[in-house]
């Protein structure tokens, strides 16, 4: 028996972003990140969002869907299947090949239109809960979740470290600076979560094999009802002009000595001369 025996099962939508793995980014010859050479992964916080949704689904029943706006190149199929292997019932991809939704405002607008499209495609009366990662691993602007809540006219709780659904209400804990808060709001609602809320599960071999039988559905962004690219194009936009890594070159200093004591003395002397240590 679930914790909410007799209550309606939950319909949960998780916003998922697929990003170049920040831990495997390399700089090119000009000091700029080589995005094409980095493998894709699920954005870290979005893995926690999926896990939070699956835990609620296990307790209360219902279904958990994923939606992603994919700008530029499509992530490899094995990365998409990982999201399904974690436990999503279906994954919807909004294909944005011309970067119409590249900034947080337009991304939230596209996700809002996609949320309505997925709801209609799955014949769901309404979403009970939308869960987003608190920020994306590539841009970390923490804007999309709150902007999506505004676009869908939903109450939002951000930076949640624990969430529960109790009698049709969302109850969430969060830590803010010098205090902890417990907040609650009526469903439907939107919540953003970070790594503090859970440890995202690692799919088993059987789950990975079974993920191939789950649906991945693509929607061209131009076909999203309610997403007016022309009108959005007239609004102010955020554009990244350049990203570069600070130059770093090894000094390639070789320390020589007759024994360990002399080597240590020369090393400390060099570090002190370079201002690396003070003693």
Sequential pLDDT tens for the chain (279 residues): 344 444 689 999 999 999 888 777 777 777 777 777 788 899 999 999 999 999 999 999 999 999 999 988 889 999 999 999 999 999 999 998 877 777 888 999 999 999 999 999 999 999 999 999 999 888 888 999 999 999 999 999 999 999 999 999 999 999 888 889 999 999 999 999 999 999 999 998 899 889 999 999 999 998 999 888 778 777 777 777 777 777 666 777 888 888 888 888 888 888 888 777 776
Q: What are phi and psi of 263, to 5 degrees?
A: -60, -45
Residues 130 and 258 in one domain: no
In a domain, 183, yes or no: yes
Residues 150 and 271 in one domain: no
Looking at residue 263, its pLDDT comes to 86
Distance CA 137, CA 106 (A): 18
Residues 270 and 207 in one domain: no
In a domain, 4, yes or no: no
Distances (CA, A) of 171 to 143, 146, 206: 22, 17, 34
Q: Residue 75: count other Cβ atoms within 10 Å of its Cβ.
A: 21
How many structural domains does the chain have?
2
Provide the residue range defining the domain that includes 116. Answer: 10-233
Q: How many residues are recorded in the chain? A: 279
Six-digit token pair at 168?
Answer: 């049709």
In Å, how far from its chain's centre is CA 199?
Answer: 14
Contacts of 265 by beta carbon, 8 Å cutoff, 6+ apart: 257
User: What CATH number is given to the structural domain containing 73?
Assistant: 3.40.50.620
Q: Are 224 and 110 in contact (CB under 8 A)?
A: yes
Looking at residue 248, its pLDDT comes to 66
Six-digit token pair at 76?
Answer: 């490899």
Residues 139 and 40 in one domain: yes
Distance CA 12, CA 127 (A): 6
């Amino acid at each position: 028996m679930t914790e909410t025996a007799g209550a309606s099962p939950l319909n949960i939508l998780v916003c998922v972003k697929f990003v170049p793995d920040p831990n495997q980014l390399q700089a090119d010859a000009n000091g700029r990140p080589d995005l094409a050479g980095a493998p894709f992964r699920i954005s870290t916080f979005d893995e926690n969002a999926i896990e939070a949704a699956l835990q609620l689904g296990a307790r209360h029943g219902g279904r958990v869907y994923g939606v992603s706006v994919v700008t530029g190149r499509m992530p490899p199929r094995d990365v998409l299947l990982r999201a399904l292997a974690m436990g999503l019932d279906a994954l919807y991809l909004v294909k944005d090949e011309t970067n119409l939704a590249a900034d947080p405002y337009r991304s939230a607008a596209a996700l809002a239109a996609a949320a309505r499209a997925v709801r209609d495609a799955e014949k769901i009366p309404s979403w009970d809960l939308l869960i987003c990662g608190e920020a994306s691993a590539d841009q970390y602007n923490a804007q999309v979740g709150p902007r999506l809540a505004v676009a869908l006219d939903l109450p939002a709780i951000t930076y949640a470290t624990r969430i529960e659904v109790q009698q049709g209400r969302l109850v969430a804990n969060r830590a803010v600076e010098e205090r902890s808060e417990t907040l609650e709001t009526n469903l439907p609602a939107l919540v953003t979560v970070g790594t503090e809320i859970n440890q995202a599960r690692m799919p088993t071999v059987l789950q990975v094999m079974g993920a191939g039988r789950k649906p991945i559905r693509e929607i061209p962004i131009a076909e999203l009802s309610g997403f007016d690219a022309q009108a959005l194009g007239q609004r102010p936009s955020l554009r990244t002009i350049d990203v570069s890594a600070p130059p770093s070159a090894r000094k390639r200093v070789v320390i020589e000595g007759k024994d360990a004591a002399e080597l240590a003395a020369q090393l400390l002397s060099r570090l002190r001369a370079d201002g690396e240590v003070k003693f």
